[in-house]
Amino acid sequence: MQRDIHNLIEGRVSTGVIRQTNSSAAVVGSIIDLQGYSSLEFLILTGALTDVNATFAVTMDEGNVSNLSDASAVAAGDLLGSYASASFTFADDNAVKKIGYKGAKRYVRLTITPTGNDAGNLDLGVIALLGAPGKMPTP
């Protein structure tokens, strides 16, 4: 059996590694272009979440225009997993959450919206993992 995922995926930065301090402002990821790929999974990596009452809701937008001027919320039927399972709280330090997209639009963007993060830090990074490439190996 050959174990090769290396040539079947491509990673792209959605948010980079960030620290948001004392803020409930939304963390909006980069727009991910799915051209040439048939699958997308967002991996959300949390670090220290220091506000003891903070929650973090995950949402996703989709569209066919490169700047997402036609953005609409991704319906539950076009998700792999759910918004609830990808969302997290202050208790989820050093965790990995995931949510996938199986819709038909070309562009997708992930957003994380904190609530109650007014006295602490949000450390996180988001990777967009593209798979099922039209051409292999991936770059």
Contact in structure between 72 and 31 (CB atoms under 8 Å): no
pLDDT classification of 28: cutoffs 50, 70, 90: very high
Q: Which helix (H) or strand (E) holds 29?
A: none
Q: CA-CA distance, 131 to 11, in Å (whole number)?
A: 9
Q: What is the pLDDT of residue 135?
A: 85
Picking from 6, 13, 16, 12, the residue whose alpha carbon sits closest to that of residue 123 is 16
Contact in structure between 139 and 9 (CB atoms under 8 Å): no
Separation of CA 5 from chain center: 20
- pTM value > 0.85: yes
Q: pLDDT tens digits, residue range 51-107?
A: 888 999 999 999 999 999 999 999 999 999 999 999 999 999 999 999 999 999 999
